Structure 1
Amino acid sequence: MNTVLITGCSSGYGLETARHFHAQGWSVIATMRRPREGVLPVSDRLRLLALDVTCPDSIAAALEAAGPVNVLVNNAGIGVVGAFEATPMAHVRKVFDTNTFGTMAVVQAVIPQMRARRSGVIVNVTSSVTLAPMPLAAAYTASKQAIQGFTGSLAHELAAFGVRVRLVEPGYAPTTRFAANTDIPVMDLIPEAYADFAGPIFAGFAKPGLTTRESDVAEAVWRAANDTSDRLHYPAGADAVALAGQA
């Protein structure tokens, strides 16, 4: 039975992806910083493990408890919305610690077992901001662009060992708590000088024309994990697919 380990499963894309793989008969290891009962139905094919991607000891402990992993899905991420001028560098570093360095750390930890077996798939979830950078999200965009380049390079590096590397690029999902983990109100990062610029942008967020469903991302991750071609990019959601067509 194939086993998938997914980071960031407490809500949103990660939670839906765990449900999707489980429904397809896979063994699922759903990880989150603080596992809690009731998030997913724990069974012999679904385990919840604690994994904080910013903590090396937590990564090592989770992978040891998980055992052999056929597919790694790096989904854990946080966002920050606001004018970059007003965004504290501490928050910029926090975003990079999770979205960029956290993803890299989990990848680095799982490579040895996949390389030794000469098989495996690594799926890194980025964002449609890598296709069309979004205003008022400069730090987030930069953190995801870094993983975009990292993944493309890694795909070449690991192909010789039979390990496939993929990118899933979700569009905008109004149901996700984009900036919930940065502990700072969005409006605190919008100085008065930016008010006229930011107003129409936030209005657009409230009434998006094309949006991404959590199931779109889960299905894209599933396709990426099971595709044996050399394809790298998997846009997820109508808006991301449209942007990818324009890129």
Structure 2
Amino acid sequence: MQTILITGTSSGYGLETARHFLDKGWNVVATMRRPDPTLLPTSPNLRVLPLDVTQDESIAAVVAAAGPIDVLVNNAGIGVVGAFEATPIAHIRKVFDTNTFGVMAMCQAVIPQMRERCSGVIVNVTSSVTLAAMPLAAAYTASKQAIEGFTGSLAHELAHFGIRARLVEPGYAPTTRFAQNSDLSVADLIPPAYADFAAPIFDGFARPAMTTKETDVAEAVWSAVHDRSGRLQFPAGADAVALFEARRG
């Protein structure tokens, strides 16, 4: 029985991915900043552990407690929506600490054991904003684009050791807490000068033509884990797939 460690499982994509792999009979290590075992089904195959991906001590503790890890899914992230000029640099650093450096730190913590076993899969969850730039999300997009390049390079670097690195690129899911996992409100980041520009964009968020479901992402992670074709990118959700195909075509 294989073990998957997933970061950011308190809601959204991470929570659904943990459920999906539990249903498939995997050992699941579900991590979150404030563990709440009631979010997931009771199972002898489940462990819910505390993890802050911005803290080295927290990462070391969870990796030691998890034991051998066959699959690492880096899903934890911070969303931020607003005009770039109004976004404090301190908050941008916070976004990168979680979305970019947190992913890199988790990879560094898990790669040695995978390398020794000559097997393993790392799945980094980014976003469809890496497929088509979205206004009012410059800092978030930059943090996710960095992981796209990082993962592409890592895939080449680790293939020599039998380790696969993959990207899952979710589209927009209205049910997620994208803009709520920040200590800044959207209103704080839209100065009056941007109000007319931002209004139709937010209207589009409220009435999207296509969306992504949490189950789409869980299934894309499952596909990424089991795919052996060398494919790097796995768009998740109808909107993300459409963007992926448009860019490729």
Smaller-chain TM-score range? over 0.9
**Letter matched to residue 134 of structure 2:** M
Match of 2:213 in 1: 213
The 5 A counterparts of 1:111-130 are 111-130=111-130
Match of 1:81 in 2: 81
Match of 2:171 in 1: 171
Deviations 1:208-241 (A, max 9, x none): 0000000000000000001111000000000000
Structure 2 distance, partners of 1:8, 1:42, is: 18
- Whether contact under 8 Å (2:19, 2:41) holds in the other structure is no
Moved more, 73-82 or 177-186: 177-186
Structure 2 distance, partners of 1:15, 1:181, is: 15
Match of 2:193 in 1: 193
Q: Count how many residue pairs are aligned between Structure 1 and Structure 2.
A: 247
The 3-state SS of whatever aligns with 2:228 is coil
The 5 A counterparts of 1:1-247 are 1-247=1-247
Deviations 1:14-72 (A, max 9, x none): 00000000101111110001102311124220110111100000000000000001000
The 3-state SS of whatever aligns with 1:108 is helix
The 3-state SS of whatever aligns with 2:69 is coil
Structure 1 distance, partners of 2:45, 2:186, is: 39
Structure 2 distance, partners of 1:217, 1:37, is: 21
Structure 1 distance, partners of 2:37, 2:119, is: 33
The 3-state SS of whatever aligns with 1:49 is strand
Moved more, 43-52 or 153-162: 43-52
- Unaligned residue ranges in structure 1 (runs of 5+): none
Structure 1 distance, partners of 2:90, 2:244, is: 32
- Unaligned residue ranges in structure 2 (runs of 5+): none
Structure 1 distance, partners of 2:144, 2:105, is: 15
After superposition, the CA RMSD in angstroms is 0.7
| Deviation at residue 184 of structure 1 after TM alignment | 1.2
The 3-state SS of whatever aligns with 1:5 is strand
Structure 1 distance, partners of 2:170, 2:2, is: 24
**Letter matched to residue 107 of structure 1:** C
TM-score, normalised to structure 1's length? 0.99
The 3-state SS of whatever aligns with 2:174 is coil
- Whether contact under 8 Å (1:42, 1:48) holds in the other structure is no
The 3-state SS of whatever aligns with 2:38 is coil
- Whether contact under 8 Å (1:49, 1:62) holds in the other structure is yes
Structure 2 distance, partners of 1:41, 1:29, is: 13
Structure 2 distance, partners of 1:55, 1:179, is: 22
Moved over 6 A (4+): none
Structure 1 distance, partners of 2:37, 2:67, is: 22
TM-score, normalised to structure 2's length? 0.98
Give % identity.
Answer: 75
- Whether contact under 8 Å (1:131, 1:243) holds in the other structure is yes
Moved more, 29-38 or 194-203: 29-38
